[in-house]
Every structure is written in structure tokens, then in C-alpha cells.
Amino acid sequence: MEEEYESVLLIIRECFVYRIPPRTTARGYRAAEWGDLGDSFLWKGRMRIMRKGSTCTIRLEDPNTGEVFAVCPYDPNSNSMEPVLDSSRYFVLKIEHEGRHAFIGMGFQERSDAFDFNVALQDFTKQLIAEKKASERAVEVDNTPKKDYSWKEGQTINISIGSVGAKRTRPRPSGTSDSSGFVPIIPPPPSAAQVKQQQQQRQF
């Protein structure tokens, strides 16, 4: 099995943690019920989103020492993280420790930090779905029947390469007089002296 490496998906240098009252109805959480959000925070520090394999965690840490204050194992199919109903900057996290869990409020001063927080978790969920689909397609390919192209015992194959090795005959040159291949020699034309002598002989 390949070793799984832990990677950082997002770091936000300042976030605030709040103690929240128990939820008595299914309507959701409201940050306005947490008291004075500017002064009543329980803890302030750094937030990191970490990924290792198919798991994702939201870690709240001391920015100076790195000591972990709380860890929220993020599961997109559960209530591990919920946005509040009355603000885009506050969320409720389900933190876990040694088999026990609790719900805390978390918020950011800047809306851009809250936006980056949401996008990082959404990107993780999209990548997880894409990797799952790719794995399922790979399993489907592996399960398809495979054709056997191996040679069977005693099996032979004949290959025809045309008329390789056959003697090739050259075409007979034109102007031959017989089947023996003898080419007759044509005498040269008479010279001018011979033509004059033949004319004189005809006069006598």
C-alpha cells in the first residue's frame, strides 16, 4: 500500500471559538444566540484544514506553539460542520477527542476568510467524489472479460509472402527474327565512290 501523505488545504491565521447553547430544535444554529461575538469568545488562534488520503480534519491550533486546541473530523455527509442561519462568517463544528464529541461555534472576522473556508471544504468534497468515480471505473475495466491471445499447444500459422524466390524472366527485346535469340547484322550503307562506280557500270 502506498504511504498516504498529509497535505495542507487551507490556513487561516485567526479564528474565534465560542461556547454555544444546546440546540433544542431542528431549525439550525444562530450566531446571535452566542452572546457578544466580539468579546465572549472562548479561544482565539489559527485554523488549518488538513487532508490525508480520503480524510479531512479541521484543526484549531495555537499560532505560536502549534498546540492543538480542538480537532473536527470533516465528513461532507454528516453534521460535522454546519453554517449558521444568520451570518456567513460563523459555523458550528463537531469536535472529537478520545471517543467523545462536542459542538462549538467558530467564526472569522473577515468574510473572505469564511469564503476560503467554504471553498476549501467544497474542493475536498469534489476531489473525493472524482477519485471515487475513477476508482469505480478502474474496477469495471478490470472485471471485463479478457480475450486469450496466447498460443495453444500444437498451434501453427502459415504466412504467405507472395512469389518470393520465383525466377523472374526478362522481357524479350523487340526486333528478334527467330526463337533462337539471334539478332541479324545490318550491313553499312555504300560509300559515295561505290555508288558512282555502280552508276558507271550501268551505262556500259
Mean predicted confidence (pLDDT) in 103-132: 96
Kindly give, in sequence order, each residue whose CB lies less than 8 Å from that of residue 132, ignoring residues fewer than 6 positions away.
Answer: none
Where do the structural domains in the chain lie, given as residue ranges?
6-141
Give Dmax over CA atoms of the chain in angstroms. Answer: 157
Here the cell at position 169 is 524472366
Query: What pLDDT is attached to residue 188?
Result: 66
Here the cell at position 43 is 479561544
Model confidence pTM above 0.85: no
Query: pLDDT tens digit string along 18-51?
Result: 999 988 777 889 999 998 898 889 999 999 999 9
CA–CA separation, 61 and 67 (whole Å): 5
Q: How many CB atoms lie within 10 A of CB 68?
A: 13
Q: Comparing 45-54, 115-124, 166-175, which segment has the lowest mean pLDDT?
A: 166-175
Query: What pLDDT is attached to residue 202?
Result: 63
| 114 has a pLDDT exceeding 60 | yes
Q: Which amino acid is residue 48, in one-letter code?
A: R
Query: What pLDDT is attached to residue 186?
Result: 59
CATH 2.30.29.30 fits 6-141, yes or no: yes
Q: How high does pLDDT run on average in the chain?
A: 83
Q: Is the dihedral of CA 63, 65, 71, 75 positive or negative?
A: positive
| 112 has a pLDDT exceeding 90 | yes
